[in-house]
Structure 1
Amino acid sequence: MANQQSDYAVQYQAAQQNPEAYWAEQAGNINWFSPPQTTLEALPNGSHRWYPDGELNSCYLALDQHLATRGDQVALYYDSPASGVKQAISFRELHEQVARFAGTLKGLGVTKGDTVVIYMPMIPEAAVAMLACARIGAVHSVVFGGFAPNELAIRIDDARPKLILTASCGIEFEKLIAYKPLVDKAVDLATHKPLHTLVCQRPMLQADMDPARDLDWYDCQQGAEPADCVPVQGKDPLYILYTSGTTGAPKGIVRDNGGHAVALNYALHNVYGMQAGDVWWGASDIGWVVGHSFIVYGPLMGGCSAIFYEGKPIRTPDAGAFWRVISEYGVNAMFCAPTAFRAIRKEDSDGTLSKQYDLSSLKRLFVAGEKLDSSTYHWLDDLLGVPVIDHWWQTETGWPMTSPMMGWDNPSASRLGSTNKPIPGYDIQVVDGAGQPVEANETGNIVVSLPMPPGVAWDIWNQPQRFTDSYLTAFPGFYHTGDGGFKDDEGYVYITGRTDDVINVSGHRLSTGEMEEVVSAHPAVAECAVIGMQDSLKGQLPVGLVVLKGDVDIDPDVLEAELVQMVREQVGALACFRKAVVVQRLPKTRSGKILRAILRKIAANQDYKMPSTIDDESILGEITDIMHRSGMI
């Protein structure tokens, strides 16, 4: 649909007026074994599912359908500065590896509907594992490599996998992280016991094997018959993905096969503007939703060459790592979280390292996952000279909710601070606490009218009532995103943060995200987090935790005074922003999101559970010490 009736207003209205007809048309753009007779089915909980009775196979769409036309094209460029390994794997080669490994899984007793947990680093075998499960109709659950054993055990007990697939180690900068002992402890802790653990031995660290339970990744494939694709229904689950940062029982988001395939095909071509043969880089990890949608399934289904990168944006070997990858593989479009570019900018504030590389292949850069502050936007815009596109989506949706349609003529212009307009199929509304619509430019709860478009989760694994309670109950008739924000007069959506990222200062509800935008614009600031501190007089007062750029030398008192003045001028005196504390680093998830909820608990002297997704636990101790020394607690 790249140039077919690609007027945004026409397409959006068509999806609004008759969603069933609109998405029935989109379903015709993928190869079904048996096309769906039912396009949309209402569910008792008020949600919906798409194409429930169509038959297809997600692995077939990612690999088999391309063999005749682009079998020799590179499917995955594996680039691992962490291990010094590079590979270019064609569609034909990847198909052979996946079919053989799928046959191995079948030989070990895995059948359609069984679950398999994948706990692996960013190595090609991880993509092979995902696709092999899809090939035989098994349901995979990728758990981010390096999760603590207890967290992995909780997911094992919830998913009840027949097998666990892992590797001997992952690599974080120069540090080797042994995975096998973590898996062994998790299995010991879990009530459910998988039949086997398959271990991909990496040369830099060999795992000890238990012959009663463990199997070598490649040895067990000897003599395996390649497996054909198993037809599954559109409503059948493709994967379970546990959301990060949850407390209590994990929340296993279930993704179906049919809606997922249609949505990713639609998004890759229409939202991201990619065509078969293009080179795409989703700079994330398969442990997150981006890795599922836009490292493995989306680009391969669309016939693109995907970058599979094992490394960090800095120190691999320097802050020019991303620019090297773009240049070396001719990346046409890239997706990344803003925090990665803030890390690069902190190390190389002038962007000098980018001048060493030919970046002419890059047509556009997409960012999502957290707020794109104006200073980072301008730095990237000036440095790269290509569209820098902020957009918004969630694990639950599996693909974007707001974005300009870059595959169409005349996509919506970027508007700083906004994640752009709703994508066709998403009727995004802003409501108050009673569920009543608010006026344009007025902040409220961001919700989406039902039915949601294809590809969006409609269940939580083993906990259907929890899905209803979490997403459909607060605002009947809507999906509750949990984000706050507003829409302007022209329908552009502005995300101000999670609805709990709002503080109450003397009765005024103020967005910490808005203050972070101001603080991050200071030329000395690399990144920041603004949190609310309890105050006996005003209820709450904002405090900024600030990380400086690497080449900056500024007196903390001078910086604090300048930041206080900036917030006063741009937000107002009512914000009562009076304190800014310099810290060396901020606690983040492994996907780069700042753990603001934990910072709030530390500041309030409240107990907190160590987040399973935290990148480095020691940071919390550093932050606690700094808060004590600065008189915050």
Structure 2
Amino acid sequence: MSEVKKPVFQPNKAFAKEARIKNMCEYQELQDWAHEDYEGFWDHFAKEKIDWFEPYTNVLDESNMPFVKWFEGGKLNVAHQCIDRHLDSRKNKAAIIFEGDRGDKQIITYLELYYNVNKMANLLKNEFGVEKGDRVVIYMPMIPEAAYAMLACARLGAIHSIVFGGFSAEALRDRIIDAEAKTVITADGAFRKDKPYMLKPVVDKALEEGCECVGKVLVVERNGEDVEWVAGRDYSYNEMIDQQSPVCDAEPMDSEDPLFLLYTSGSTGKPKGVQHNSAGYILWAQMTMEWVFDVKENDTYWCTADVGWITGHTYIVYGPLAMGATTIMFEGVPTYPDAGRPWKMVEEYKINQFYTAPTAIRVLHKTGAEEPKKYDLSSLKVLGTVGEPIDPPAWKWYYEDIGNSKCAIVDTYWQTETGGHMVSPLPGATPIKPACATFPLPGIMGEILDPETGEKVGAGESGYMCVTRPWPSMIRGVWGDPERFVKSYFGDVTKDGKPVYFTGDGANYDEDGYITITGRTDDVINVSGHRMGTAEVEAAIKKSSDVAEVAVVGKPHELKGEGIFAYVVLKNEENLGELVDTMKAINNVIKQEIGNIALCDDIVFVPGLPKTRSGKIMRRILRSIAKGEAITQDTSTLEDPAVVGQIESCVKNGSC
């Protein structure tokens, strides 16, 4: 039976007339240009978009794939690209609009941003001894000082590594040690739902052992709660910042000098330090802001992400500021004090582009479906989604109730490793199909390949989402582990005998060539748009004294997209299925080891796990059981085929 064709939504004609890319003919011309003259395409935009201190001599060197080099010989500074070059024409324009959890507001112009970043850079350089190449870990709430810290590091040539403020002390410690960070920047805490929460105590705990590399900690006093201060190590940003000079020269950086590290979960327990370099990253961040969101000079743009994730890096700080836009930073949660909070902000700030995750859309729809009708949302021009495919019901509500059936929804597909969008509609050009990522952006050689043959799959066939040519903002390596970099991203698929970048996601084409992402093909769970490695979660659970073995898989979740489902084998089988306290203890261990984001939605105690005779856990079987699907996999190769039926019974009955 043929698949039902998805409806197609044409771009708003009035919007398209003013868009940077106005129709699919213009899109195709750009893509043809890239196919015919790849280096010439990128050379044009690098010269047009970046304020170079010294010109580059070579566009692309891919002779040592996958260790590529872009714009060799060029010198620039990303903080200069984001701030200094705008001062002649935009010094009094709002760069960042901050709204706190409690409704407090702050507008920071480009000139004020320049002074604030310079002061923090001087503080780090003169008081903390931070130099080019040093690593600085940032563990911050969503406040302007987080952006200042990022840009101050970029100004000095230091490499920042932001750790999401919801991660535990153990997760923070692992990242500090792996990066060999010299300095940690944090806050006493911040506010959430009108109540203070703390960050500094987490840093204190993280630094208790194994972090001898850290010499000093800079603390922004945000919520005013009491914290412990370690003499000679901890310093108050609030007390020191006004003593610093507002002038600090930007360090000239080579195009391929690292800009930041961002740790992401993988299929092994140790997080990967994804490295992004300067020129290619900032170029694509700016280009995608201009193409995908079509932000104009007088627009106000809001991405609801946290700077602890790549979305916050590229589409709250670096991308918007590189193009001279006005970007909003929001400290709170979208449902506090009610589910009308985002729409109230859209009305108040006349927001033109709104970018959020399907998880947030589902929550806002479920808790406040009628809230949008209370506010004037007519300023909106582009709606975006990020982190996971958006389901059709959420898409429909977003399109009709938020966008008034006139705003393009750009369903963006990309990853921490790609630096910026890879597959996405263009709001003035692309006819949109709900829940389809649509087409690769101009310059991105994205293809769905058969993993066995390396050939492009046909319509209706599934394959692996790959990128067959290097692009400027691609991951440059896994910090300190080049072998893992090659194995993780270039070891699964080849085309014409050459390794290509494999995203780890499955995908398919429809009859019109539209791309739909079908989800992970490896042992990674996408929780609310954030990837959690099964091995990392399992390693945390195994630290529970009651646990003998564990396997975790993803399970569809109404709000999160995917939840974490854990199959646990206990050391003491006499208490099998009766230990409610053990469930709580397991999640407490996860909270301590990783953070709340990795808490299990389901924990089932089972007598054993489905393993092959070589000891490999068959997670495909466990995923099917978690979803309530019939087992179609061959179980004859299992060490104990009978365990599958036992596990099914445990899940069905809630206990064994």
Distance of aligned partners of 1:603 and 1:40 in 2 relative to their CA distance in 1, 3 Å threshold: farther
**Which of 106, 111, 116 lines up with 1:97 in the alignment?**
116
Partner of residue 417 from structure 2, selected from 396, 409, 420: 396
Q: Give the structure 2 partner of residue 124 of structure 1.
A: 144
Write out aligned runs for 1:6-17 (5 A). 7-17=26-36
- 2: distance between equivalents of 1:247 and 1:86? 42
Partner of 1:599: 565
Amino acid at match of 1:615: N
Q: Which runs of 5+ in 1 are unaligned?
A: 503-541, 548-585
What is the CA-CA distance between 1:85 and the residue it aligns to? Answer: 1.7
Offset from partner CA, 1:218-257 (integer Å, 9 cap, x none):
2233432331111101100110011146642220111111
Match of 2:475 among 457, 474, 483: 457
Q: Say if 1:44 and 1:234 are closer, same or farther in 2 by CA, change over 3 A.
A: same
Q: Which residue does the alignment assign to 1:168? A: 188
Alignment correspondent of 1:71: 91
Q: How far off its partner does 1:34 sit?
A: 1.1
Q: 2:375 corresponds to which residue?
A: 357
Q: Paired residue for 2:465?
A: 446
Alignment match of 1:275 (pick from 296, 304, 321): 296
Change (3 A) 1:223 1:392: same
Compute the displacement of 1:594 (Å).
3.0
Q: Where does 1:312-327 land on structure 2 (aligned, <5 Å)? A: 312-314=333-335, 316-327=336-347
Matched letter for residue 594 of structure 1: E
2:132 aligns with one of 101, 112, 118: 112
Question: CA separation of 1:131/1:545 partners in 2, compared to 1, >3 Å: closer, same or farther?
Answer: closer
What is the one-letter code of the residue matched to 1:375?
Answer: P
Query: Is the 8 Å Cα contact of residues 358 and 389 (structure 2) preserved in structure 1?
Result: yes
Q: Tell me the residue number matched to 2:443.
A: 425
Q: Once superposed, what is the RMSD of the aligned Cα atoms? A: 2.9
Q: Which structure 2 residues correspond to residues 180-329 of structure 1 after superposition, within 5 A?
A: 180-225=200-245, 226-244=247-265, 247-314=268-335, 316-329=336-349
1:18 aligns with 2:40: no
Question: CA shift at 1:468, angstroms?
Answer: 0.3
Alignment check: 8 A CA contact 2:567 2:604 kept? no
- Give 1:500 shift: 4.5
Task: Note the 1:554-565 alignment, pairs <5 A.
Answer: none
Alpha-carbon shift at residue 96 of structure 1 (Å): 0.5
* Residue of structure 2 equivalent to 1:491: 513
Question: What secondary structure sits across from 2:590 in the alignment?
Answer: coil
Give yes or no for contact 1:145–1:179 (8 Å, CA) kept in 2: yes
> SS in structure 2 opposite 1:188?
coil
What residue identity is the alignment partner of 1:7? E
Change (3 A) 1:448 1:602: farther
Equivalent residue pairs, number:
543
The CA distance in 1 between the partners of 2:430 and 2:605, in whole Å, is 44
Rounded to whole Å, the distance in 2 between the matches of 1:266 and 1:425 is: 11
Counterparts of 1:355-394 in structure 2, within 5 Å, are 355-383=373-401, 384-385=403-404, 386-394=407-415
Q: Which moved more, 1:599-608 or 1:52-61?
A: 599-608
**Distance in 2 separating the partners of 1:484 and 1:239:** 28
Equivalent position to 2:364, from 314, 338, 344: 344
What CA distance in whole angstroms lies between the structure 1 residues aligned with 2:654 and 2:70? 51
Moved more, 5-14 or 267-276: 5-14
Q: 1:343-364: per-residue Cα shift (whole Å, max 9, x none)?
A: 0111123xx2212221111101
User: Is the contact between residue 196 and residue 223 of structure 2 (CA under 8 Å) also seen in structure 1?
Assistant: no
Alignment check: 8 A CA contact 2:21 2:429 kept: no
Q: Report deviation, 1:114.
A: 0.9
Structure 2 vs 1, CA of residues 599 and 245 (structure 1 numbering), >3 Å: closer, same or farther? farther
Alpha-carbon distance, 1:207 to partner: 1.9
* Structure 2 counterpart of 1:610: 590
Q: Which amino acid aligns with 2:151?
A: L
How far did residue 433 of structure 1 move? 3.2
Contact 2:185–2:219 (Cα < 8 Å) also in 1: yes
**Rounded Cα–Cα distance in structure 1 between residues aligned with 2:333 and 2:59:** 42
C-alpha deviations, 1:538-567, integer Å up to 9, x for none?
Answer: xxxx997665xxxxxxxxxxxxxxxxxxxx
For residue 189 of structure 1, give the secondary structure of its aligned residue in structure 2: coil
Displacement, 1:206? 3.2
1:478 aligns with 2:496: no
Q: Secondary structure of 1:362's match?
A: coil
